[in-house]
Structure 1
């Protein structure tokens, strides 16, 4: 092909024809893994000239069989998306759907292929725009109406009142729990798969649509293991509870579908029927019945980094980091959230990785310090110990080199009524001013973020205004409020914020 005609889509086709993982394809071309990931996310992207030349060379050196596969994949004739048979994550999702919908093997592949061929990508982008108009307040209000009386988290900052969709209790807030082994005590009760699930016709059809849209929009789906919550017992300075293990496709094709259904119902002007919510999460009793439903979730933290006084910025403060989530993520797309934010999941060691702090340290490495090798959406994880001290980034190595440089606490726990997820709201504090001087220039969000915003704990007006931004995700706002409340208690003169008082609405 001509050297100026490569796009993200054709680059991905070459990768598929060569049958290489993201990491191996990047190595084959001599480029970064993030560049390969960008081609997957932006199929219309046209690489720079030097990148076009690298792709030309790779195609020229391909075998006859590889060239034939590439020609078939890039043919102008309509063809079945090769990921339906070649992407192990999509294949696993199709097999899961056949099994739980009680369909003959291959049925979901055929249905997804037919649905994907009929999708108009522009209509999906238009729907994404409509969804973006639905505010955090709309979501919280609709869920409060649906569930009736519920213990939902509400906070007041100055004269601003903020409501969320986070179900919580007084015993689950202001935990001030250090995320170290003697306090961070979640355990794994069993790594066996959960009980079987049978999908009804509507639930199976929506799952087919999710997979078809995933293919159409090149959204990442990786069937990695996730923790599922079986029991929870948080208390002041202590996290207790038990976990099981599930896989991402189970979550993506069931509970994760509730958010889209909810937001679409609100965007349509409601009240609209929500059959998936009626099936999976019909009442508060079901929300709290953790042992008998799928309850996955994650860890998210407000990051506060001490900075010295500056002649332009002013007095010493903490830098607060807030992300706008990318439209390519499955969870809280295009919403504001604290950073890092990630699913609670094991890497290699199911028992050790059960600690909330383990997930938070991993997410710091991935989302703040740019380690692509622990991002399981970019390639297969083959390292025996990805968080071994010898593999840590330079900023993380510096933080753990001396006690006291890195402080991590869980500030609260709640169940998010959006999808029934559990949320461990946390706070990361770096008190040593030298960190920002040394490493501020390498702190960089990964592909999951569209933008990364900075706020100062001495800028009362802007931070207060931020808390009332309707673009927040509910879990992000929950973590932000509890993190600021705790930071005001421990941050001294660096923090100049109105008091944040929480209450449980009834």
Structure 2
């Protein structure tokens, strides 16, 4: 027994449900890695390679009759066309309701609009557009935004000719702020969310985003995310307030600005109608009280390695990811790892700490957890980061608070989409970690590749800094992390000097 049209991530996950196995048990049953199973949940449209297709065929054929009947019933319930999702997917329904409300439309108008657009979406055209976007460099993006906003002061630059789109301040740099409760003090507020009304152009672009989401079988989860309302940041302390909004608010508004900008650069155009509406000037960027300011945290990770007769003296390994085309933020760009939206899990007050997001993202992006946040399904665990639920590498790190050093190195507002960016540094000084767990580190579905660099190779680090594939926030976090690591690393580092300046 096999699937005539081949397996997808969705049907593989359905087989897992029919077998009633956890991710770990299903991976063991198939003889594959847990990350592969997690990827099927994250990317339901993914088509495994031929060898994996055969493994899944065999697993289904060897399953008992009860499992096969259950699988057939589940496939009938879960396999859905874009039109089915338009009607049945509660996350899409939530987005459509939000769009109707904020565009001043009669209920059901956005559903009909998206359905009409869906008929004209060509996935091949979207793929070609993605390739064109990939040719636009980080420097082009930073330069275009500087020109749009009148070459403002406060844009982060490095003395080696690197410029970014990160708007920052001297008090927000070189923070040396430990990410522990006494220093990491963002507070949750219950202030009312700023109102928003969409004109015809903005509503049309939002509907187009939903149509393409359906056509490509991209999963959109309307999860809660933090929005920044105020900041009080200086060396050694992160302060300010955050509220809570929904992901669809961001996905259908400010998240569209990056694509609009990159498409304009690829086409040689200077038209930015959505930017003109949402972030027309610096005042609108900096006025957090009247706009949606979503964002997150990202960190340069440095792991101590012992001396090696082939590699050389003891060093730190630095991890850099190339983001996949399936992520919302910085798709196909270089970024440090971990990187993630700042969002609550179950404790909205405690999870407002930046360190909470970085620990969660470390579990997901480096150690294979797929059930930490709620981007796959409902959050049903009272404490997703309880020690009993941690991966083995993370449990080892958390068992002694001296094993993982986490600092915030800088903060800024990214002109690309108006996001807030908390740059960090995560350092593991104990060589035992690499000896025990180095072979278990593997990027999850959000990355298409994972690269490693030695802190004793300044030439390669310099080439990395100059790579035009960076996202602006990724480059910001890299540079700030390298500055701090140069101070902390001792004989393990031989890093180039990096001096920042504000344009």
TM-score past 0.5 threshold: yes
Match of 2:422 in 1: 424
Match of 1:262 in 2: 261
Counterpart pick for 1:464 among 462, 480, 489: 462
Contact 1:4 1:52 in 2 (8 A): no
Per-residue deviation, 1:19: 11
Q: Deviation per CA, 1:107-143, whole angstroms, max 9, x where unpaired?
A: 2122212212211111000000000000000000000
Question: In the alignment, does 2:282 pair up with 1:284?
Answer: yes
2:330 is paired with a residue whose SS is coil
2:119 is paired with a residue whose SS is helix
Per-residue deviation, 1:415: 0.2
Match of 1:183 in 2: 183
The 2-side partners of 1:285 and 1:413 are apart by: 18
Matches within 5 A, 1:91-490: 91-150=93-152, 151-156=154-159, 160-190=160-190, 194-271=193-270, 273-490=271-488
TM-score, normalising length: structure 2: 0.92
1:234 is paired with a residue whose SS is strand
The 2-side partners of 1:390 and 1:44 are apart by: 32
Distance 1:289 1:269, change over 3 A: same
The 2-side partners of 1:268 and 1:463 are apart by: 32
1:287 is paired with a residue whose SS is helix
2:214 is paired with a residue whose SS is helix
Distance 1:22 1:486, change over 3 A: farther
Distance 1:365 1:175, change over 3 A: same
Per-residue deviation, 1:395: 1.1
Per-residue deviation, 1:369: 0.9
Contact 2:224 2:246 in 1 (8 A): yes
Question: In the alignment, does 2:38 pair up with 1:34?
Answer: yes
Q: Deviation per CA, 1:349-378, whole angstroms, max 9, x where unpaired?
A: 110001111111111111111111114222
The 2-side partners of 1:254 and 1:371 are apart by: 30
Match of 2:69 in 1: 61
Q: Deviation per CA, 1:142-175, whole angstroms, max 9, x where unpaired?
A: 000000132100012xxx3100000001111010
1:48 is paired with a residue whose SS is helix
1:134 is paired with a residue whose SS is coil
The 2-side partners of 1:11 and 1:67 are apart by: 7
The 1-side partners of 2:72 and 2:93 are apart by: 27
Match of 2:6 in 1: 6
Matches within 5 A, 1:20-31: none
The 1-side partners of 2:68 and 2:501 are apart by: 65
Per-residue deviation, 1:336: 0.1
Segment of structure 1 superposing worse, 40-49 or 123-132: 40-49
Structure 1: stretches of 5+ with no match in the other structure = none
Per-residue deviation, 1:66: 6.1
Q: Deviation per CA, 1:172-207, whole angstroms, max 9, x where unpaired?
A: 1010000011111110111x6514321100000000
Distance 1:307 1:290, change over 3 A: same
The 2-side partners of 1:495 and 1:460 are apart by: 9
Counterpart pick for 1:51 among 52, 56, 69: 56
Distance 1:218 1:23, change over 3 A: farther
Contact 1:29 1:55 in 2 (8 A): no
Per-residue deviation, 1:323: 0.2
The 2-side partners of 1:171 and 1:440 are apart by: 36
Distance 1:21 1:189, change over 3 A: farther
The 2-side partners of 1:371 and 1:11 are apart by: 20
The 1-side partners of 2:21 and 2:221 are apart by: 13
Structure 2: stretches of 5+ with no match in the other structure = none
Segment of structure 1 superposing worse, 34-43 or 386-395: 34-43
Distance 1:30 1:205, change over 3 A: farther
The 2-side partners of 1:23 and 1:332 are apart by: 31
Contact 1:173 1:411 in 2 (8 A): yes
Distance 1:28 1:154, change over 3 A: closer
1:374 is paired with a residue whose SS is coil
Contact 1:300 1:426 in 2 (8 A): yes
Q: Deviation per CA, 1:332-360, whole angstroms, max 9, x where unpaired?
A: 00000000000011001110001111111
The 2-side partners of 1:336 and 1:212 are apart by: 27
Contact 1:228 1:243 in 2 (8 A): yes
Per-residue deviation, 1:237: 0.5
Distance 1:404 1:5, change over 3 A: same
Contact 2:304 2:434 in 1 (8 A): yes
Segment of structure 1 superposing worse, 434-443 or 42-51: 42-51
Distance 1:402 1:62, change over 3 A: closer
The 2-side partners of 1:176 and 1:331 are apart by: 26
The 1-side partners of 2:21 and 2:89 are apart by: 12
2:233 is paired with a residue whose SS is coil
Contact 1:230 1:243 in 2 (8 A): yes
TM-score, normalising length: structure 1: 0.91
